[in-house]
Structure 1
């Protein structure tokens, strides 16, 4: 099996993870993309210990299946990933395989974040939580990509270029 590349893309809610990844995974042949929020799509939404465990198990299960599939070389995974413990928990559950893992965090200015979240009609509570998480990304040891004033395509191109520098 050919070596894999796993790309983790974190960022606070509203920073542009989903829109960037929607562009980014299409820039690479033989790629897959998992948005961690897809595993939280439930009604009513409930953040409980049981649901968190289920979501984490589902994410790890899907990522492992992607890594096992020899038709794909690069796997993109985006999620809030605002704590190192969450990144470590995801990685600890992955199968041992020949892979390089790259960790990126998308950031932007507070003004840009609020503008985006208001245009997406996010709640005041979501905006407050997202702003509170924004400074956490500077301390994760990930590669920081500033999305302020950039389109999703421009952000995706920067991440693509960073990935290609070491491939």
Structure 2
């Protein structure tokens, strides 16, 4: 049986960092960061681009789930609304798959510090802090296991996820 790890969280919660470490602890894995399906300039959020990114993500995830070479599929993306997670799952063939839905949560102080560091390194733009902080409460209502990343090492977070 395959395992699909769906890892959600606001920008700066640690999705990509945790997922990159998690994949290396798993046998026969494949990893998809949802942002890769929407890395465009100009970045535009329209009905057309939202449909495109969902089609891209679901196509790739289904391809991974159907491929016998992989036992574990790690997918991370912002997924700030239950409807996003539900739509993705509804479009995936998970009948022979354990699905682990995980939300990385983080306290505001840690989030601000992480994002300020990313801005200082030129990895993010100044507006990300307020947008990300505003989304923190959205993750409290998602149907998923919450894993707090505040003041914790990536190793400890990955161990917690693997124990689920």
TM-score (norm 2): 0.93
Count matched residues: 160
RMSD: 1.1
Q: CA 1:97 to 1:112, structure 2 compared with 1: closer, same or farther past 3 Å? A: same
Matching residue of 2:42: 44
Matching residue of 2:57: 59
Separation in structure 2 between the aligned mates of residue 57 and residue 25 of structure 1, nearest angstrom: 23
Q: Secondary structure at the match of 2:57?
A: helix
Separation in structure 2 between the aligned mates of residue 45 and residue 64 of structure 1, nearest angstrom: 25
| 1:39-93 deviation digits (Å, cap 9, x = unpaired) | 1111121111111111100000000000001121111110011110000110111
| Pair 1:20 & 2:18 matched | yes
Q: Secondary structure at the match of 2:143?
A: coil
What runs of 5+ residues in structure 2 fail to find an aligned partner? none
Matching residue of 2:141: 139
Matching residue of 2:30: 32
Matching residue of 2:115: 117
Matches within 5 A, 1:76-87: 76-87=74-85
| 1:87-107 deviation digits (Å, cap 9, x = unpaired) | 011011112531111100000
Q: Secondary structure at the match of 1:123?
A: coil
What runs of 5+ residues in structure 1 fail to find an aligned partner? 163-167
2:132 pairs with one of 125, 130, 142: 130
Separation in structure 2 between the aligned mates of residue 48 and residue 141 of structure 1, nearest angstrom: 26
Matching residue of 2:5: 7
